[in-house]
Amino acid sequence: MGSEGADDRAGWAVLAAASAGALLCFLNLSALNVALPAVARSLHASPTQASWILLSYMLVSTVCILSFGRLADLWGRRRLFLAGLCLFVAACAACAFAPDAGLMLAARICQAVGAAGVMANASALVGDAFGRRRMGLALGVLAMVAALAQVVGPLAGGFVVSWWGWRVLFMLNVPLGLCVLALSWKVLPAGAAVRSERFDLAGAALSFVGIGCVTYALSMAGTRGWTSTPVWAFMFAGLGAIALFYRVQVRASSPLVDPSLFGDPVRRTAYAGILLLSMAQAAPLVLVALYLQACAGLEPSQAGLRVAPVAFGMLMAAPVAGMLIRRFSPESVCVGGMLLAAGALAMLATLLRPEIGAVPLSLCFWGLGLGIGSFVTPNNASILQTVTPQRRGIANGVRSTLQNTGIMVGTALALSVALARLSPGSQRSVLGNAGAGLSGLDVAIFTRGTSAALALLAVLCLAGSAMIASSRRRAMRLQSQG
């Protein structure tokens, strides 16, 4: 009993450190959703620079996280987690003192590299610390922490920007980060590194090029249009690099991504599901926060309060989902979560207008949060429970890469749809770089564009639920035939 009690205490200590690190990274992203107009105005950022201040964090962390997941398996999770956290804290200080948009972007890129080291390890560290039987509960707690960041982030971001300015928002991360660093140094185990395998440099380079080019093309589509030659040039270059990456991974003796991770149909479907759901996870918060400030005249703190219910829904649903997977299949719970998210997004697309009340808006976001929270916990458990510890870092790296890619693609796609019919001047006004405001016609155009973007995200959730349900039916047929 004494040994089991010590193992339990060590496991919960690891969960606390991993959750605190993940909380900092997610707070940094969600807080900037409502602070972006203030940052853009202060730094005199162009619409492209303003978009990149937000999107560069997701782009760079997405590009890095796959390689960092593999490095964690080879060199040790503790080492990479601590190094990433150190860089993240230093970059937060650099963001706080950035004198212009260019240096702000550079600091955000450093932030993203550090965050990738943290996010690539958080779930894997928790998976190592807890046995398969309790992994679902522990991952549910980690999902609750991510939800908490989405509650605190917009609220803190809105109030801090309104009261003290956006620079204080980044400075607050420094003492908090140092405390998390001290805790992590004390409690994280060294773990075992896989010295017999080597790092796949060719695969890492191709993954950088492929993921980077595709997400960069999507980020340009909003301002340049989908018919732009540079957009399609980067898109084809990225897809070509991804195709070459696949061929290299199949033939490599120590691949960056073990192809056997996709041999299990349950895990393969879980990976596809997290990509689709993530596209609808962050984009509605960004869209509606911008919409309420541009069309309803709300302050950042007020906009943050309006979108906060999504995370309260996640907080409520994540632990319940962790309990439900003990009685129902994870796929069934995931389907229910996606259907909830699709319904909430469809309702939001129907009701959205400048004078929308706080109650219907809160109900829509609360329903979206319930759907996301019901999906994430069983999805993460189905990915990590059946993988060997030596592959847990890269398995989580693939999941995190797909999740970040979905958030990045969904945000870029939603912004491009919502802003497509606005003039460049009106786009600058929405992003906070102009003081003239929107005309009545612009408000109507932006309302239709935002509703169309939300409806598109709802369709993606419906497609994901249909895919998971179909995969579940095929698996049951195979079991009955066997």
- Give the Å distances, CA to CA, from 428 to 14, 37, 51, 175, 433: 44, 10, 10, 34, 5
Same domain, 327 and 468: yes
Q: Is 70 exceeded by the pLDDT of residue 260? A: yes
pLDDT band at 2 (very low <50, low <70, confident <90, very high): very low
The predicted model gives 172-198 an average pLDDT of: 78
Same domain, 115 and 96: yes
Same domain, 82 and 176: yes
Rounded CA gap, 2 and 61, in Å?
41
Same domain, 33 and 145: yes
Check if the beta carbon of residue 241 is closer than 8 Å to that of residue 206. yes
Q: Point out the domain boundary residue: 255, 273, 294.
A: 255
211-249 pLDDT per residue, tens: 888 877 776 665 566 677 888 898 899 999 989 988 888
Q: Alpha-carbon Rg of the chain, whole angstroms?
A: 21
57-88 pLDDT per residue, tens: 877 887 888 788 778 777 777 888 899 999 99
Rounded CA gap, 79 and 223, in Å?
40
pLDDT band at 90 (very low <50, low <70, confident <90, very high): very high
- What is the predicted pLDDT for the residue at 1? 43
Secondary structure (3-state) at 19: helix
- Give the Å distances, CA to CA, from 263 to 259, 260, 387: 7, 5, 11
Same domain, 209 and 152: no
The rounded Cα 78 to chain-centroid distance in angstroms is 22
33-46 pLDDT per residue, tens: 677 777 878 887 77
Q: Is 50 exceeded by the pLDDT of residue 319? A: yes
- What is the predicted pLDDT for the residue at 252? 78
456 located within any domain: yes
Same domain, 289 and 222: no
The predicted model gives 368-397 an average pLDDT of: 79
State the number of CA atoms in the 13 A half-sphere of 356 facing the CB.
25
Joined together, the tokens standing for residue 150 give 């989405």
436 located within any domain: yes
Of residues 131 and 66, more confidence is placed in 66
Same domain, 144 and 249: no
Give 35-70 as a DSSP string: HHHHHHHHHT--HHHHHHHHHHHHHHHHHHHHHHHH
Joined together, the tokens standing for residue 411 give 């945000």
- What is the predicted pLDDT for the residue at 8? 61
- What is the predicted pLDDT for the residue at 390? 67
Rounded CA gap, 308 and 1, in Å?
42
Distance between the two ends of the chain, CA-based, in angstroms?
A: 41
437-455 pLDDT per residue, tens: 678 888 899 999 999 999 9
Same domain, 271 and 145: yes
Rounded CA gap, 263 and 254, in Å?
17
Share of the chain above pLDDT 70, in %: 87
- What is the predicted pLDDT for the residue at 240? 92
pLDDT band at 360 (very low <50, low <70, confident <90, very high): very high
Q: Is 60 exceeded by the pLDDT of residue 432? A: yes
Q: Point out the domain boundary residue: 255, 272, 298.
A: 255
Of residues 196 and 460, more confidence is placed in 460
Total Cβ atoms within 10 A of residue 98: 20
194 located within any domain: no
Rounded CA gap, 273 and 281, in Å?
12
Q: Is 90 exceeded by the pLDDT of residue 312? A: no
Number of domains in the chain: 2
Check if the beta carbon of residue 211 is closer than 8 Å to that of residue 66. yes
Angle at which helix 358-384 crosses helix 101-129, to 10 degrees, equals 50
Q: Is 90 exceeded by the pLDDT of residue 478? A: no
Same domain, 228 and 100: no
Secondary structure (3-state) at 12: helix
Q: Point out the domain boundary residue: 255, 283, 298.
A: 255
Phi-psi sector, 228: left (phi>0), alpha (psi -120 to 50), beta: beta
pLDDT band at 16 (very low <50, low <70, confident <90, very high): confident
- What is the predicted pLDDT for the residue at 45? 75
Q: Buried (b) or exposed (e) across 147-170, using 16+ Cβ within 10 A?
A: bbbbbbbbbbbbbbbbeeebbebb
pLDDT averaged over the chain?
Answer: 81
**Side chain identity at residue 136, one-letter code:** G
132-151 pLDDT per residue, tens: 556 666 766 777 777 667 66
Angle, vertex CA 30, rays to CA 28 and CA 34, nearest 5: 110
- What is the predicted pLDDT for the residue at 448? 94
The predicted model gives 155-162 an average pLDDT of: 73
Same domain, 241 and 314: no
Joined together, the tokens standing for residue 383 give 């990915």
The predicted model gives 113-136 an average pLDDT of: 75
**Side chain identity at residue 261, one-letter code:** L
Joined together, the tokens standing for residue 469 give 């349900």
The rounded Cα 376 to chain-centroid distance in angstroms is 11
**Side chain identity at residue 450, one-letter code:** T
Total Cβ atoms within 10 A of residue 400: 24
195 located within any domain: no
Q: Is 90 exceeded by the pLDDT of residue 282? A: no
Angle, vertex CA 290, rays to CA 438 and CA 88, nearest 5: 140
- What is the predicted pLDDT for the residue at 3? 47
122-131, 251-260, 338-347, 439-448 — which one is most confidently predicted on average?
Answer: 338-347
191 located within any domain: no
The predicted model gives 188-212 an average pLDDT of: 76
Secondary structure (3-state) at 317: helix
CATH of the domain at 281: 1.20.1250.20
Share of the chain above pLDDT 90, in %: 17
Range of the structural domain that residue 402 is part of: 7-186+256-481
Same domain, 162 and 231: no
Same domain, 263 and 321: yes
Rounded CA gap, 349 and 293, in Å?
17
- Cβ-count burial of 125 within 10 angstroms (0-12 exposed, 13-18 middle, 19+ buried)? buried
1 located within any domain: no
